[in-house]
Amino acid sequence: MSWDHQAAYVTLLTKSSYLPGVLVLDYTLRLVGSCYPLVVMVTASLPQECRNVLTGRGIRLRDIANLEPPEGIHSLAHHDTRFRDTWTKLRVFELVEFKRVVLLDADMIVMRNMDELFDVELAADTIAATHVCACNPRKLPHYPPDWIPANCAYTPLVHPSGLTSPTKITDNSPRPHTQLNSGLVVLRPSLELARAVYNHLNTSPFVSSWSFPDQDLLADFFRGRWEPLPWNYNALKTLMIIHEPLWRDEEIKCLHYILADKPWHARISRDGKGEYDKCNQWWWDRFEEMAAEMQENGDDCELVLANVAK
């Protein structure tokens, strides 16, 4: 495979438990005919056997160092300890071998080609992303108190206008409208920008108050300098229930399995009554196709199968 691309999709992998997610993400990018490769940022914590599986699938790896705020500055709620590694996603700004990057989380599948994101107009010091959903349907007490449906950027949107006109951020917007979901971020790597982001992490007085590590940092650092994208480029799975007037299955470009329960943690129940069974099945369908392809190619699937539900 040629690696002379000047742009790439990029994700982060720090542990074997997310290997199935990364492999399915890569498989779906190929499935929709993307012209751009998936590059996986990896840290020293990732076992060699996991690296071997990735390279065996033709996936390019990029070794990076861990990134965290100064010790003792920030703590996570027990419910959100999975976010501990996500500061390291910010290393993406160092990937200056690429002129343009679309940063993706590993708990995503691409359902329709979205290569047009590489052509989004973007100044050197700006990013593009989708809004957070600030409805907090599970009433988690450690979420910000202004995360209520009335303040959610998706609440006023309906189909089909929501596909082309995401909620604009104005001087009078409620605070949650200024917050982005970092599952998908379009950016232009720059060492100067990377240093500025890291300096913000090390010096901002607000770090201790952030509920969602890299996400809150990006929203704060790029305040007034991030462009909202339509919901379907980062279709948060919860939107299908919370924002039915906006959601359409057939319009999803990239589906994001937010929250702690990832689709590979459990097989679909026989009764099919789970609220996210439908979209979880979409993940499993693609996983089974990919696993069959790996077996046909003679690839070692043992580690992959060990990290999905039996």
Mean per-residue pLDDT, 136-140 = 89
Q: How confident is the model at residue 138 (pLDDT cuts 50, 70, 90)?
A: confident
Beta strands in 113-263 (DSSP E): 127-131, 180-187, 226-228, 235-236, 254-256
For residue 79, the model assigns a pLDDT of 42
Domains belonging to the chain, first-starting first, are 7-306 (3.90.550.10)
pLDDT tens-digit series, residues 9-41: 999 999 999 999 999 999 999 999 999 999 999
Kindly tell me if the per-residue pLDDT of 303 is higher than 80: yes
- Amino acid in position 221: F
Is residue 163 within 8 A of residue 130, CB to CB? The reply is no
pLDDT tens-digit series, residues 52-110: 999 999 999 999 999 988 775 544 444 444 456 889 999 999 999 999 999 999 999 99
Q: What single string gives the DSSP state of each residue in 215-246?
A: HHHHHHHTTT-EEEPPGGGGEETTHHHH-TTT
Q: Cα separations (Å) of 279 from 230, 233, 289?
A: 19, 15, 16
226-228, strands of its sheet edge to edge: 60-63, 38-42, 7-13, 100-104, 180-187, 127-131, 226-228
pLDDT tens-digit series, residues 200-232: 999 988 888 888 889 999 999 999 999 999 999
Mean per-residue pLDDT, 270-284 = 88
Q: How confident is the model at residue 274 (pLDDT cuts 50, 70, 90)?
A: confident
Is residue 180 within 8 A of residue 215, CB to CB? The reply is yes
Q: How many CB atoms lie within 10 A of CB 81?
A: 11
pTM above 0.85, yes or no: yes
235-236, strands of its sheet edge to edge: 108-110, 254-256, 235-236
* Closest alpha carbon to 188 in 96, 100, 122: 100
**Mean pLDDT over all residues of the chain?**
92
Mean per-residue pLDDT, 107-123 = 97
Note the residue count of the chain: 310
206 compared with 261, residue with greater pLDDT: 261
For residue 2, the model assigns a pLDDT of 41
CA dist., res. 119 & res. 123, Å (int):
12
Q: How confident is the model at residue 279 (pLDDT cuts 50, 70, 90)?
A: very high
CA dist., res. 210 & res. 207, Å (int):
6
DSSP 13: E
Kindly tell me if the per-residue pLDDT of 3 is higher than 50: no
